[in-house]
Structure 1
Amino acid sequence: MLFERLQKPSHLILLTGLLAISLPAPLFANPDPAKSRKASEVLVAELAEDESVEDVEQSVPRTTAERENKALKPHPSRTGAGIDTPSAPARKVAPNIDLKEVAPAPEAQATAPAENTADTTGSELPDAGAGTESEPGPELRPGEAFTLLGNDVMPGTSTRLAWAPGIQIAGLSQPTPVLVVNGVNAGPTLCLTGAVHGDELNGIEIIRQTVYDLNPEKLSGRVVGIPIVNLPGFQQGSRYLPDRRDLNRHFPGSPEGSLADRIAYSLFENVIRRCDMLVDIHTGSLKRTNLPQLRADMNNPEVAEFTRGFDRMAVVHSTGSPGMLRTAAVAAGIRTVTMEAGESHRIQQHQISAGVNSLTSLMERQGMISRMFVWGDPEPVYYDSDWIRADHGGILFSEIELGARVSQGEILGYVSDPITNAQHPIRSSSDGRVIGMAVDQVVMAGFAAYHIGTEAEVPGE
């Protein structure tokens, strides 16, 4: 399938009390018919501990030997997850809609097994082979119905469903939209989650642009997108849930725990476990911004291999922390990475385009789509990384930009004391590239201001 990329940012509009977005700007296609399938090297960095940077976790060092000698543990087969079987009868056939069209918000459905009330026999079922006659392909297998949130999404269709964790005040419950594209052909299930932290907006648009451009009649497998996981936090412009907890520290959750535990449990059991692959999209926190990058446990061979599908995206080694969605999903046998792009509270089209391009290349590498796609040159390897802290309090003024290459001793910025007029330079501790940094703001001594990734040779070379 020929995939097209957005050139201009879309304009945001209000849709049913949620962030819905108008049709994309004019599209363009890559005219080069050649496909370059060269395998880009795995790009690895090791995160430094920083207690004041919440999206940076202390990691177990990357162990190349362990990765090479460790046998691949076969995770439970997830093929056909959510597919209707005689032991799991269909309950409701989801309507086939064009996701680009403005439509009323979907109503949440009960997720417990219920009696089948929809007639899904005979001619009521869409033809699984529709739209594939011109592109037969010997390796393609017909898709099947995908059961999610009490609905059967038929092959070759797309729809909007709704997830509700059932923890709101009665009468004030507001479901969270779930976008589903079930391909006409069989294949893996990819899940995309955004705004687990309610103030991280770039991921919302990355998911919208990625999912809305999919053609179910030319898709193998399924894509499930939840643009806004933390809807209460999003509505308040807050990173956290109403109980002031960080949702990304409570997975896989508990049905009898705190508010965060219950929301995490509902999402994990009703949606996440239905997927084979997961990309959880975040931004920098605490007035910081991140160069587009992946966070992945490179000690896990399946996850390390999974990262090879993302074009033009640096990979930073991070084993993750207990309670993170990524950690819980990997433990459940789901190949998972965290994507970081930009800063919170903002829509940044350059960061969004990088995320969309990488997700599209991932789907192409996984055999879910086919497009005229030229693989880019691999990013440098970031083997070591350090946060450089301010030694004085004052107002931070940066001299460099995100992504800049810097030399040891180079001045990255100044901390200016507004009372004494003293200027305190912050210098790079090594040669490398700025993969994360704080925006200009008032800082105190010890504030982590610049995240420097240092290049290293590809392991094994």
Structure 2
Amino acid sequence: MRTPIRYLSVLLALMLAFQPALATEVEDEERALERQQEEENPAPNKASHVPVQAVDEDSQPTEEPPHPLPLLNRVVDPGTFATLHWTPDQSFGSIATPVPVLVAHGTKPGPQLCLTAAIHGDELNGIEMVRRLMYKLEPDELAGTVIGVPIVNLDGFRSGSRYLSDRRDLNRYFPGNKNGSAASRVAHSLYSNIVSHCDYLVDLHTGSQKRVNLPQLRADLDNPDVVAFAKHFGGMTVLHSPGVTGMLRDAAVKDGIVAVTMEAGGPNRLETQAVNYGVQALETLLENLQMQKASRFWSAPQPVFFESEWIRADQGGILLAEVKLNDKVKKGQILGTVTDPISNTGSAIIAPYNGRVLGMAVNQVIHAGFAAFRIGEEKSTEEVEAQAEKASKEKEKQQSDDDDSDGDSKQERAADPSPKEPSDEPPAEADSTGE
């Protein structure tokens, strides 16, 4: 029995003695295999190697949250609604009444939209549109900022007048001049303190001087940015109107702020239907700008009128309309009659072409030459695009011609760099037809 035990002991000792050698041999074989693999598949340069980081599927790219908004010597925090005050110097400094400015500053990044109303103090529908829209906004769900100035012309609003107290039309003085007339100073204050901070502008108006307008946008359809912006209002009618120097939207567009005018209804009254229409259009705009969620309300194609004109009366008397806003009319159709109440003679106002009634005077006493009906000639999308392209080419050609003969004019402008403003003469009221 001792012999097997002694044999097993010797065998175990021999195995322990040779174990390091076996381990070393295995390690050598592994290193040789690694060297062979490295030679067949060389490793990339370590200096150019970019380690791959694990991606968290639940993580989303984050945008920088909005900063507090400095405006009119106040700071509006993200996710809040504030009522600020703008003092446009429309009275004595010691007794000036500040104009309220409503601000909804969202919690998510987005554009800054400005709404202005009552640049003409007797135009009330826009005031109500701004009030309804602004107080429905939820700043904690808003992307971007909405700034509403419901009563720009507080002076005219108090007196029920279209104009400022000095009989000037404020919407002919933008962007204004801080050293100019009273109207020019008010325009400069609004523009520099509020409008210049915005990316988009909607200036709200109504018809004027006993006229009413179909809810519509007036926009420069030769400007691609303005065309794209106008499409965001749903099915609202659009009129091509480049605007005139001194208008707020004209000054804004020239400064790169995309702007349109919205017209709806008539002056000196609140028209519920026009107000509702305008508020829905503005809510559709906010949705299409991805500033808030709202329900779109138009599916019909957007009517576009590249050409429109006011048809005037040939005699004075009592105007009696025979058409309504938005009626389609045919060439030669009677739009209304004007009757002399003394002689009982009358004349008809005739449609010069097929079109649609976009604006009209209410029944009243008028004089010869009075603008009574605005008729728009509706065109197809293809016709509008062709007209816009033609106008754009003509504008480029005119600009090229101006550049070729600009030497003397540049010297004249250098000699007199001060901005020009409208005449100090009060405006004539008789022919005001809107903005």
The code of the aligned residue for 2:109 comes to A
Greater displacement, 153-162 / 374-383: 374-383
TM-score scaled to structure 2, two decimals? Answer: 0.73
Amino acid at match of 1:190: L
For residues 54-73 of structure 1, the C-alpha deviation after alignment (integer angstroms, 9 at most, x for no partner) is: xxxxxxxxxxxxxxxxxxxx
SS at match of 2:368: coil
Quote how far apart the aligned CAs of 1:374 are.
4.6
| Paired position in structure 2 for 1:187 | 110
| Match in the other structure for 1:227 | 150
Aligned to 2:20: none
Assess if the C-alpha contact under 8 Å between 2:319 and 2:336 holds in 1: yes
Which structure 2 residues correspond to residues 52-131 of structure 1 after superposition, within 5 A? none
- Indicate how the Cα distance of structure 1 residues 398 and 137 shifts in structure 2: closer, same or farther if over 3 A, else same: farther
Task: State the match for 2:352 in structure 1.
Answer: 429
* Cα pair 1:167 1:262 within 8 Å, conserved: no
Q: Which residue of 2 aligns with 1:271?
A: 194
Cα separation, 1, equivalents of 2:62 and 2:309: 46
The letter of the residue matching 2:130 is I
Matched, 1:316 2:220: no
Aligned length: 326
* Cα shift at 1:423: 2.9
- Name 2:224's counterpart in structure 1: 301
For 2:113 and 2:176, the matched residues in 1 are separated by: 21
* 1:139-154 paired onto structure 2 within 5 Å: 141-154=64-77
Letter in 2 for 1:259: A
User: Partners in 2 of 1:137 and 1:446 — Cα distance?
Assistant: 65
- How far 1:313 sits from its partner (Å)? 0.9
Which consecutive unaligned segments of at least 5 residues does structure 2 have? 1-58, 387-435
Matching residue's letter, 1:158: F
| Alignment partner, residue 327 of structure 1 | 250
* Structure holding more helix per residue: 2
Once the 2 structures are TM-superposed, how far is the Cα of residue 384 of structure 1 from its aligned partner? 2.2
The ranges of structure 1 where at least 4 consecutive aligned residues each deviate by more than 3 angstroms after the TM superposition are 136-141
Q: Deviations over 1:31-51 (max 9, x none)?
A: xxxxxxxxxxxxxxxxxxxxx
Q: Residue 173 of structure 1: CA displacement?
A: 0.7
- Offset, 1:385: 1.4
Q: CA deviation at 1:143?
A: 2.3
SS at match of 2:95: coil
Residues 262 and 420 of structure 1: CA distance in aligned 2, closer, same or farther (over 3 Å) = same
* Matched residue type, 2:262: M
Matches within 5 A, 1:160-239: 160-239=83-162
- Partner SS, residue 284 of structure 1: coil
Aligned to 2:319: 396
Specify which structure has the bigger relative contact order, considering alpha-carbon pairs within 8 angstroms and separated by 6 or more residues.
1
Structure 1 pair 140–341 and aligned structure 2 pair: CA distance change class (3 A): farther
Tell me the distance in 2 between the aligned counterparts of 1:167 and 1:423: 46
Structure 1 unpaired stretches of 5+:
1-135
How far apart, CA to CA, are the structure 1 residues paired with 2:187 and 2:122? 18
Superposition RMSD on alpha carbons, in Å?
Answer: 1.6
Q: CA deviation at 1:171?
A: 2.6
Aligned twin of 2:343: 420
Deviations 1:107-128 (A, max 9, x none): xxxxxxxxxxxxxxxxxxxxxx
Q: Distance in 1 between matches of 2:83 and 2:194?
A: 14
Change (3 A) 1:191 1:151: same
Structure 1 CA distance for aligned equivalents of residues 60 and 209 of structure 2? 49
Distance in structure 1 (CA, Å) of the matches to 2:224 and 2:370: 35
1:381 CA drift (Å): 2.7
**CA apart distance, 1:138:** 6.3
Of 241, 259, 262 in structure 2, the residue corresponding to residue 336 of structure 1 is: 259
Aligned to 1:411: 334
- Asked whether the 8 Å contact 2:113–2:201 carries over to 1, the reply is yes
Q: Does 1:351 align with 2:271?
A: no
Q: Alpha carbons of 1:367 and 1:416: their partners in 2 closer, same or farther (altered >3 Å)?
A: same
Does structure 2 retain, via aligned residues, the 8 Å contact 1:144–1:186? no
Identical positions, percent = 51
Q: Deviations over 1:287-330 (max 9, x none)?
A: 11110111111111111111110112111111111111111111
CA distance in 2, matches of 1:289, 1:371: 29
2:374 matched to 1:448?
Answer: no
Please state how far the C-alpha of 1:167 moved relative to its aligned partner.
5.0
Residue by residue over 1:254-312, the C-alpha shift from the partner in whole angstroms, topping out at 9 and shown as x without a partner, is: 11110001111111111011111000011111211110111111111111111110112
